């Protein structure tokens, strides 16, 4: 049985007012827009160093807000990271150590019935809640958005689309409006943007704040940009490879749609009191010419390129523009951060930490904790899990279930080029023990 969620109280509002310097008023609570993209490489934005693409809209989010240079997804792949974002817990602690898929023999997760999602907490505390885009945490009730606290769901229940235009997976249509199957026409990125804009327009004169979780499936493969966007890239750079050109075009098309979202926020006045978060569920896939430069590795890797992701926070008149922090943060930290932003005390049993001090430019230490990454998978992984762990600057990596453990000092070796010997690192045995203890605890959580 889930613990009851404490309804927003006047005492909480008073606490909230002390943070924001405002008179306690429920209607002054900020809106929250969380934009999660799929497989965006650390180096695949112009503001992140990409020289062959133009991403002015996402770049502007960074310029007008706060960049976390040391922000991580909770896994190397989709479902586990999404589970952590929404529950504030490690993915294997809520039954999602691997990718949830429609084929039982290829399924490596099952969202725990006991899990409590940020959408449920915010909804029970007076927020309108909506999700648009890729869900990827279950195909049937009770593991669907409407059963997990989202008042509105318009999106795709499944893992990946086999085609951005037909929106099928293995011949099955997983597009839904709440629990009704729908079959919209057009490119998925445009469709999800249209639906999000529709929702934002409905919120212009609403009497309560909203939480909108907008989860794009771009730039996940198959790499299918609209033809006119691909043509622009090719005309701009005749020497670019076809594979890279498609990826650049898909991201630039995504960037354009992020701009559409931000324009609606500004025109409606909603941006005056809306926290916007932009992040990714894991790193870019190297085999599709995605870039995580200058980091080592990519999607599926426990090296930095697989798990460190571009992340920006924008909050007009609250977050100082064009600022950066190197504080360590993960997707699971968004849950307690959103709670605090809304003036709610986070549940006591989550793994994430509240990042609000960092957002407001106040001193905060975030690396005095052990953090862990997990992924379980079939194929050549044999159904086994593999892990990484970190404490301060030291990171333990097992990049496949069959690989030896490696340890790196990220302060002096940020690109993980020179693994240290265990005897060189006083923390080695402690880090191993902490990871072992996490594996032991997560073993009590069913994932099938």
Tens of pLDDT, residues 374-425: 999 999 999 999 999 999 999 999 999 999 999 999 999 999 999 999 999 9
Residue-level pLDDT at 413: 98
Taking the C-alpha atoms of residue 84 and residue 94, their distance in angstroms, rounded to an integer, is 8
Partnered with residue 34 across adjacent β-strands are: 213, 277
Pairing of strands 210-215, 128-134: parallel
User: Cis omega before residue 359 (within 30°)?
Assistant: no
Tell me, what DSSP letter sits at residue 181?
E
Sequence-separated contacts (24+) of 378-382 with Cβ below 8 Å: 378/105, 378/106, 378/108
Residue 10 is predicted with a pLDDT of 34
Residue 369 has pLDDT above 50, yes or no: yes
Q: Tell me, what's the pLDDT at 16?
A: 42
User: Which pLDDT band, with edges at 50, 70 and 90, does 28 fall under?
Assistant: confident
Rounded CA separation 327/217 (Å): 27
pLDDT the model gives residue 22: 36
Residue 203 banded pLDDT, cuts 50, 70, 90: very high
* Cis omega (within 30 of 0) for bond into 142: yes
pLDDT tens for residues 155-202?
999 999 999 999 999 999 999 999 999 999 999 999 999 999 999 999
- Residue 14, pLDDT score: 36
34 pLDDT higher than 70: yes
Q: Which long-range contacts (CB under 8 A, 24 or more apart) does 429-438 make?
A: 430/391, 431/370, 431/389, 431/390, 431/391, 431/394, 431/396, 431/407, 432/389, 432/396, 432/405, 434/370, 434/372, 434/389, 434/391, 435/370, 435/372, 435/387, 435/389, 435/396, 438/90, 438/370, 438/372, 438/389
Question: Mean of the pLDDT values across residues 315-330?
Answer: 98
Could you tell me which residue, 358 or 4, shows the higher pLDDT? Answer: 358
| Rounded-to-integer distance, Cα 210 and Cα 34, Å | 11
Which helix or strand (DSSP H or E) is residue 82 part of? helix 78-87
Residue 17 has pLDDT above 80, yes or no: no
Q: Which of 308, 273, 269, 262 is closest to 410 using CA atoms?
A: 308
Q: What is the mean pLDDT of residues 325-331?
A: 98
pLDDT for 106 beyond 90: yes
What would the pLDDT profile of 239-257 be if each residue is shown by its tens digit? 999 999 999 999 999 999 9
Domains for the chain: give ranges and CATH numbers.
29-365 (3.40.720.10), 371-442 (3.30.1120)
Which helix (H) or strand (E) is 187 found in, with range? none
In the prediction, which pLDDT does 372 show?
98
Which residues in 146-156 are b (16+ Cβ under 10 Å) and which e? bebbbbbbbbb
More confident residue, 244 or 205: 244
- Kindly give the pairing relationship between strand 406-409 and strand 394-397: antiparallel
- pLDDT of 90 reads 98
Q: Are 306 and 75 in contact (CB under 8 A)?
A: no
Give the percent of the chain with pLDDT over 90. 94
Q: What is the mean pLDDT of residues 39-44?
A: 98
Is the per-residue pLDDT at 229 higher than 80? yes
DSSP H helices, 7-77, are 10-20, 56-63
pLDDT exceeds cutoff 90 at 100: yes
Q: Which residue has the tokens 């490696």?
A: 406
Examine the pLDDT at 282 and tell me if it is beyond 60. Answer: yes
Give the pLDDT confidence score for residue 323 in this predicted structure: 98
Share the mean pLDDT of the chain: 94
39-49: b or e for each residue (b if 16 or more CB lie within 10 Å)?
A: bbbbbbbbbbe
Q: Residue 6 has what pLDDT?
A: 42
Mean pLDDT of 298-313: 98
Length of the chain: 448
User: Does the pLDDT at position 5 exceed 50?
Assistant: no
């Amino acid at each position: 049985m889930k613990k009851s969620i404490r309804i927003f109280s006047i005492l909480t509002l008073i606490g909230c007012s002390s943070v924001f310097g405002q008179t306690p008023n429920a209607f002054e609570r900020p809106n929250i827009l969380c934009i999660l993209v799929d497989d965006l490489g650390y180096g695949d934005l112009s503001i992140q160093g990409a020289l062959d693409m133009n991403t002015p809209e996402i770049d502007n989010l960074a310029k007008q807000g706060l960049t976390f240079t040391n922000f991580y997804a909770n896994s190397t792949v989709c479902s586990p990271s999404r589970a952590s974002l929404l529950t504030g817990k490690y993915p294997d602690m809520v039954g999602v150590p691997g990718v949830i898929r429609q084929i039982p023999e290829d399924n490596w997760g099952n969202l725990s019935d006991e899990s409590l999602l940020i959408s449920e907490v915010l909804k029970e505390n007076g927020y309108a809640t909506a999700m648009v885009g890729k869900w990827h945490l279950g195909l049937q009730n009770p593991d669907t958005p409407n059963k997990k606290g989202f008042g509105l769901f318009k999106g795709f229940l499944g893992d990946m689309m086999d085609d951005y235009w037909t929106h099928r997976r293995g011949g099955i249509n997983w597009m839904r409006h709440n629990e009704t199957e729908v079959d919209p026409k057009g490119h998925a990125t445009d469709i999800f943007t249209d639906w999000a804009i529709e929702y934002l327009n409905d919120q212009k004169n609403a009497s309560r704040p909203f939480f909108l979780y907008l989860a794009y499936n771009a730039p996940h493969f198959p790499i299918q940009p609209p033809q006119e966007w691909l043509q622009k890239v090719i005309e701009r750079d005749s020497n670019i490879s076809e594979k890279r050109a498609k990826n650049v075009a898909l991201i630039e098309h995504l960037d354009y749609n992020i701009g559409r979202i931000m324009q609606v926020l500004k025109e409606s006045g909603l941006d005056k009191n809306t926290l916007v978060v932009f992040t990714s569920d894991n790193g870019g896939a190297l085999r599709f010419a995605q870039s995580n430069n200058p980091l080592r590795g990519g999607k599926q890797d426990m090296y930095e390129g697989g798990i460190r992701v571009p992340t920006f926070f924008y909050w007009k008149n609250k977050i100082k523009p064009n600022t950066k922090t190197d504080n360590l943060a993960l997707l699971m930290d968004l849950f307690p951060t959103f709670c605090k932003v809304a003036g709610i005390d986070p549940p006591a049993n989550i793994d994430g930490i509240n990042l609000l001090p960092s957002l407001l430019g106040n001193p905060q230490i975030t690396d005095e904790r052990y953090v862990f990454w997990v992924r379980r998978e079939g194929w050549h992984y044999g159904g086994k899990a593999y892990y990484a762990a970190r404490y301060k600057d030291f990171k333990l990596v097992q990049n496949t279930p069959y690989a030896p453990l490696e340890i790196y000092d990220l302060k002096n070796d940020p690109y993980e080029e020179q693994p240290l010997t265990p005897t060189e690192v006083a923390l080695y045995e402690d880090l191993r023990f902490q990871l072992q203890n996490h594996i032991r605890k997560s073993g009590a959580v069913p994932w099938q």
